[in-house]
Chains A and B, each alone.
Chain A
């Protein structure tokens, strides 16, 4: 995989997620594009490359989205980085049973990746919530928060459907190896 193309994709997706995607917000549910980028990489890149790409993307999201912790906001590096890495691992395991040339499979993979990453993110902050003087960064229960994140994941899968065609069209730019060669 060409890392330059991935970085440009991350730059564009990260900027849109943070600055533009709230335009699609419905009752607190906001879709995101980074899971779509990650799903595309997981679908086509070798396993190690996909995991590293997921870790870098997660770290960027962690640092770019401070969370209300205690009296202020804090960027916690780790929860999304670990979550996306775990999600990418799940995706790598699943991609063998997915039909790569299908936009529906692409959307399903986005949903699965975002859901797995959200599960780990919620777990990390649920644990941190028990620390003295920190508290939970959400108003209700952890389960409620995970529910909202699942809806985010669903919205991300739906909104990324139209992206499948341009990504597939310019797949050669990414320099992915042929499926038979992408073991490592």
Chain B
């Protein structure tokens, strides 16, 4: 019996491959093509570089065509989704940082931390108030303290309070009254006791009992027994300057900038006593 010639076998195989459905070819031909490309690759890369140098590719997609419009709308949609996810991510990160920093500041935690969005700035310019999006449903009650970033004191919860929202009297409101505090010198100097008040002009001031120099950007932290334990040591503000009152020229008054006011308040953390049940 005569053996079939090589040409016949190759011809039949070529025809079979040429007309074979893709599902039979897909598992191996692309890989085989990649292997065949190996000896061509060095020259191919060189020629590609020369080609791009001679004729740089130009974007020739017509954005007014149906395909172009579809691509643009898809791009915008996914760009919007990406931005909204990024914003949601940022908010979650801020909340997480606030909670984790508050926990570090109070290792023997006797309070529960409730994150709440700032939903409105109520009150007047002279008597500012904040409205937050958590209330008695989250065990928040009048007198609880409100922080930002886990360290900066925002104020105290005040009436009116509902199940889903609560009012905060910020520390930069005259309604906060006098607050005892300490000027904390980070270079190890004496921690001077001061009394912090907010004037009718809305400026937070601390009167120094001793004639000492206090540089700017020094922190002033709360040390007032009238406030709950969770508020002690929280940052009230930083020194932005000093002045001398005409009536008492020997006493220096520090001008403070409230720490929580330095940032755009979006989320705050409320410290509520552990074990309190929702009202």
- Chain A contacts for B47, CB-based, 8 A: 15-16, 19-20
Residues of A contacting B50 with CB < 8 Å?
20
Give A25 to B1 CA distance when docked, in angstroms: 53
> B247 at the A/B interface (Cβ < 8 Å)?
no
Among the listed A48, A69, A78, which residue makes an inter-chain contact with B15, where contact means beta carbons less than 8 Å apart? A78
Pair B18/A79 contact, Cβ less than 8 Å: yes
B36 at the interface (CB under 8 A from A): yes
Q: Are A78 and B17 in contact (CB under 8 A)?
A: yes
A70 within 8 A of B: yes
For window 22-72 of B, CB contacts with A under 8 Å fall at: 22, 25-26, 29-30, 32-33, 36-37, 39-40, 43-48, 50-51, 54-55
Contact with B along A41-52 (1 / 0, CB 8 A): 000000010010
**B21 on the A face (CB < 8 A):** yes
Total interface residues on A, using CB and 8 Å? 37
**A48 to chain B: closest CB distance in Å?**
8
A69 to B39 alpha-carbon distance, docked (Å)? 26
Tell me which residues across on chain A come within 8 A of B16, comparing CB atoms: 78
Q: Is the CB of B40 within 8 A of A64?
A: yes
Report B-chain residues with C-beta under 8 Å of the C-beta of A64. 33, 36-37, 40
Query: Is B10 an interface position by the 8 A CB rule?
Result: yes
Residue A75 interfacial (CB < 8 Å) = yes
Name the interface size band of chain B: 20 to 34
> How far is the CB of B26 from the nearest CB of chain A, in Å?
6
Q: Are A11 and B40 in contact (CB under 8 A)?
A: yes
A76/B44 in contact, CB under 8 A: no
CA distance A134 to B246 in the complex (A): 92
Please determine whether A66 and B18 come into contact, CB atoms closer than 8 angstroms: no
> Is residue A74 contacting chain B, with contact meaning CB distance below 8 A?
yes
A73 closest partner in B (C-beta)? B30
Task: Identify the interface centre among A19, A70, A72: most chain B CB within 10 Å of its CB.
Answer: A19
Return the chain B residue nearest A132 by Cβ.
Answer: B21
Q: Which residues of B contact A131 (CB under 8 A)?
A: 21-22
Q: Are B22's CB and A124's CB within 8 A? A: no
In whole angstroms, how far apart are the Cα atoms of A28 and B132 in the complex? 63
Q: Any chain A CB within 8 A of the CB of B8?
A: no
Q: Please state if B30 and A66 are interface contacts (CB–CB under 8 Å).
A: yes
Q: Please tell me if A147 contacts chain B, counting CB pairs below 8 Å.
A: no
Residue of A16, A18, A74, A81 near B29 (CB, 8 A) is: A74
In the complex the two chains form, is B14's CB within 8 Å of A75's CB?
no
Report the number of A-B residue pairs with Cβ-Cβ less than 8 Å.
Answer: 95
A12 touches B (CB below 8 Å): yes
How many Å lie between the Cα of A76 and that of B44 in the bound state? 21
Is the Cβ of A23 less than 8 Å from the Cβ of B51?
Answer: yes
On whether the beta carbons of A55 and B29 are closer than 8 Å, the reply is: no
Question: Shortest distance in angstroms between B16's beta carbon and chain A's nearest beta carbon?
Answer: 8
CB distance from A89 to the nearest CB of B (A): 11
Q: Known: A51-B7, A69-B22, A75-B32. Is A82-B43 also a contact (CB below 8 A)?
A: no
Q: List residues of chain A with CB within 8 A of the CB of B30.
A: 66, 73-75
17 A-B residue pairs with CB within 8 Å: A11-B39, A11-B43, A15-B43, A16-B47, A19-B44, A20-B51, A22-B55, A51-B7, A63-B37, A64-B33, A74-B26, A77-B17, A77-B18, A77-B29, A82-B14, A85-B11, A134-B21
| Apart from A19-B51, A63-B33, A128-B19: 14 A-B pairs, beta carbons within 8 A | A11-B39, A15-B47, A18-B44, A19-B46, A19-B47, A20-B48, A23-B54, A51-B7, A64-B37, A70-B22, A78-B19, A82-B15, A124-B19, A133-B22
Binding site for A on B (CB under 8 A): 7, 10-11, 14-19, 21-22, 25-26, 29-30, 32-33, 36-37, 39-40, 43-48, 50-51, 54-55
Closest 9 CB pairs of A and B: A78-B18, A15-B43, A20-B47, A19-B47, A75-B33, A63-B33, A19-B44, A78-B17, A19-B48
Interface residues in chain A, defined as those with a beta carbon under 8 Å from any beta carbon in chain B: 11-12, 14-16, 18-20, 22-23, 48, 51, 55, 59-60, 63-64, 66, 69-70, 72-79, 81-82, 85, 124, 127-128, 131, 133-134
